[in-house]
A and B are shown apart, each in its own frame.
Chain A
Amino acid sequence: MVLFLIASGLSLIFGVTRVVNFAHGSFYMLAAYLAYTLAGALPLGGASFYVAVALAALAVGAVGTLVEIALLRRVYRAPELYQLLLTFALVLVVSDVVKLVWGSENKTGPSAPGLTGAVRVAGQLVPTYDLALIALGPCVAAALWWLFYRTRWGVLIRAATLDREMVALLGVDQARLFTGVFALGSLLAGLAGALQLPRVALTTVMDAAIITEAFVVVVVGGMGSVPGALLAAVVIGVIDAFGVLLLPCSSSGRGV
């Protein structure tokens, strides 16, 4: 489900703006680290984890908006290579910022209060947090569906995905549309990152690790299609799980 969140954001951004956003993984990582700090710093007891997740996602959404307004807007007219270079440069910048602010040691995030146990499902202990995430996926998908099919903004997004020039010709403010899409996309990536806090170690290479998988899901699901991203995330997740289970030796892709 985390894969769906990040892939849908990526797909959305590409579908509307035609920008391949390499920095998506960086937003994911940034949100994870922000949530880690906030969860430790907020004096709200049990709720601080959830508040931290929400705040981190919103903060990264804001960062995405700033990035779009300040940087990406200037290169929309330029050849795609420049847009790629820009997002790639962002990857490097965010990576170094994270290293600078949080250090390069691995960090372990807090467990989600109230979801630390496990329940027996078909004889296996499944962590309740994982179940919560599985439940969250369709909720987010439903929320996105409502956004795209029941709001005017959603209509514009769908139209822009189909035919960007026509939408511009019809008088829609492209700049605001793009900013909105980028904000939503980065918010989704941020949410994905923050939600990973109880599940994985925080490392300075999280961005590289997730971006490949996210791109695979987006390409398989169709660039620009959020339902496609959902289906692809599920299919790829299941295939990945079975693959790892049946083949105990996973290739690392490096020269051993």
Chain B
Amino acid sequence: MSPRRTLVALAAVVVLGAAALGAAQTTIRIGEINSFSGIGAPFTGPYWNGVQLAIDEVNARGGVLGKKLDVLKRDDKGQPAEAVKHAQELVASEQVVLIAGTFLSNVGLAVSDWARQNKMLFVAAEPLTEALTWSKGHDHVVRVRPNTYEQGRMLAEKAGKLKYTKWATIGPNYEYGKRAWETFRDRMKELKPDVQVVEERWPALGKIDAGIEVGAILAKNPEALYVSLFGSDWITFVREAKKRGLFDRMFVVGILLGEPEYIDPLGLEAPEGMLVTGYPWYDIAAPAHKDFVARFTKKYDKNPVLGSLVGYITYLSIVDAIRKAGSTETDKLVAAFRGLKVDTPIGPISYRASDGQSTMGAWVGTTKLDAKRGVGIVVNHEYVPGDNVLPSDDEVKKLRSGS
């Protein structure tokens, strides 16, 4: 290149670099990596709405530590390698102070491992595998949603009181599906020693051949079925299962399946009488929650689903942590998250110092069709706080010492 061109290019780089640095100094940048396309999309779209609502509200009140919040959004397409690549780029080129998000448990574990190696804080919103905070847990990861262990136990407590002893299970063949089943199964065997597992089906995530799976389950004649499928897999499964009469022949327990993002698409085809964990946003009496629903509906012209609530709570937590730390340095943020208390629309939650798991709970109830709304809803529900089903600090130490 000619000397003049080189000079111009250099000047441009300096100016842009200064601008970027300048921006980083007047805003606090957070990297949000999530599965915005693919099987997570029904959850992560509304999740992003919740995130934006939180950010807009905080920025409207002046931001944090005198600076506005800037969230940089990246799509990991459901691939662990893609997520890690984005994390690397966000930290190196965009000066984010922490990484938040992810949806699939295997992606969450990959980003968590990256965070451990690179000493950055990872605020995991949705990945549910208990390994994230226990067998593979470490200082630089915290998690918002109640994990597979908690939800499995919540469901087992209820299912253990019923008369069914012959169980089958079907779930997606990856980290989340397996963990979601294990806790439930182990707790059921503790509560009812005569429980026997007659069939386990593990179709590939997003690629279920529902007709065959339903047939295989029916062939073994279980009295009850534990389902950890979600999203499109669940919809396809319901279709085929209804045609073959599965729901008439066995009792069904579904983890996450009472959440609006998974039950609403089924409309009036949603199965009734299922024991589920869910989010009955229409039924929660707390004024703070009603206010949240009103603000969300006003901004987006639709009701919040669980993803929206999770996105909102995740960023409330991040903001509170930055305030408590008084800084955006990773070490101070990590320390701030220990024992952090956050006021959320569903009440106060806290992040345990022992494992970084928040005490956010879940609603356990039964599905029923609501003809007026045209969808299935969760009735007879009970909110189970995370504290009720999480192990003590001593037990957690044992679970984490393996890593």
Asked whether, in the complex, the Cβ of B42 is within 8 Å of the Cβ of A118, the reply is no
Mask: chain B, 226-241; 1 = CB below 8 Å from A; 0 = not: 0000011101100110
Instruction: From known contacts A105-B41, A105-B261, A250-B202, infer whether A245 and B207 are also in contact, taking CB-CB under 8 Å.
Output: no
Residue numbers in A under 8 Å from B41 (CB-CB): 104-105, 203-204
Q: Tell me whether B239 and A200 are in contact (CB under 8 A).
A: yes
Secondary structure call for the B interface: helix
Contact A106 B42, CB 8 Å, known A127-B244, A244-B213, A251-B204? yes
Given known A-B contacts A103-B45, A252-B173, A254-B205, A244 and B212 have beta carbons under 8 A apart: yes
Chain A residues whose C-beta falls within 8 Å of the C-beta of B243 in the assembled complex:
116-118, 125, 127, 129
Complex CA–CA separation, A244 to B42 (angstroms):
27
**Contact across chains for B202 and A105 when beta carbons are under 8 A apart:** no
Whole-angstrom distance from the CB of A245 to the nearest CB of chain B? 5
Question: Does the CB pair A125–B174 fall under 8 Å?
Answer: no
Q: Which residue of chain B lies nearest to A109 when distances are taken between CB atoms in the complex?
A: B239
Chain A window 84-126, contacts with chain B (Cβ cutoff 8 Å), 1 for yes, 0 for no: 0000000000000001000111111000000011100000111
Complex contact A105–B245 (CB within 8 A): no
How many residue-residue contacts, CB under 8 A, span A and B? 120
Q: What residues on B are CB-neighbors of A255 within 8 Å?
A: 79-81, 106, 110
Chain B positions within 8 Å of A118 at CB level = 243-245
Is A248 located at the chain interface by the 8 A CB criterion? Answer: yes
Are the C-beta atoms of A250 and B106 separated by less than 8 Å?
no
Q: Does B216 contact A (CB under 8 A)?
A: yes
In the assembled complex, A241 has its CB within 8 A of some CB on chain B: yes
Interface residue count on the B side (C-beta < 8 Å): 49
Q: Determine if B267 is an interface residue (Cβ-Cβ < 8 Å).
A: yes
Q: Which residues of A contact B42 (CB under 8 A)?
A: 104-106
Cross-chain contact of B267 among A108, A205, A244, A254 (Cβ < 8 A)? A108
In the complex, the answer to whether A250 meets B204 with C-beta atoms within 8 Å is yes
B291 on the A face (CB < 8 A): no
Question: Which residues of the other chain, A, contact B218 by a CB distance below 8 angstroms?
Answer: 124-125
Q: Is A73 an interface residue (CB 8 A)?
A: no
Residues B265 and A252 in contact, CB atoms below 8 Å apart? no
Contacts of B189-211 to chain A: CB distance below 8 A = 199-207, 209-211
* Known interface pairs A104-B37, A105-B261, A118-B245; A241-B236 also in contact (CB < 8 Å): no
A185 at the interface (CB under 8 A from B): no
Given contacts A108-B265, A254-B174, whether A200 and B232 have CB atoms under 8 Å apart is: yes
* B175 lies within 8 A of chain A by Cβ: yes
B339 within 8 A of A: no
Evaluate contact between B200 and A253: CB separation under 8 angstroms: no
In chain B between 246 and 284, which residues have their CB closer than 8 angstroms to a CB of chain A? 261, 265-267, 269
Determine the distance from Cα of A127 to Cα of B240 in the docked complex, in whole angstroms: 8
Chain B residue with minimal CB distance to A241?
B212
B103–chain A nearest beta-carbon distance, Å: 13
Residues of B within 8 A of A (CB): 36-39, 41-42, 45, 78-81, 106, 110, 172-175, 199-207, 209-213, 215-216, 218, 231-233, 235-236, 239-240, 243-245, 261, 265-267, 269
For the complex of A and B, 3 pairs with smallest distance between CB atoms: A201-B235, A104-B41, A252-B204
A: residues with CB less than 8 A from B are 99, 103-108, 116-118, 124-127, 129-130, 198-201, 203-205, 209, 240-241, 244-245, 248-256
Further 14 A-B residue pairs, CB within 8 A, beyond A250-B202, A250-B207: A105-B261, A117-B243, A125-B243, A130-B211, A200-B210, A200-B236, A201-B265, A203-B206, A205-B39, A209-B206, A241-B209, A248-B199, A252-B206, A254-B174
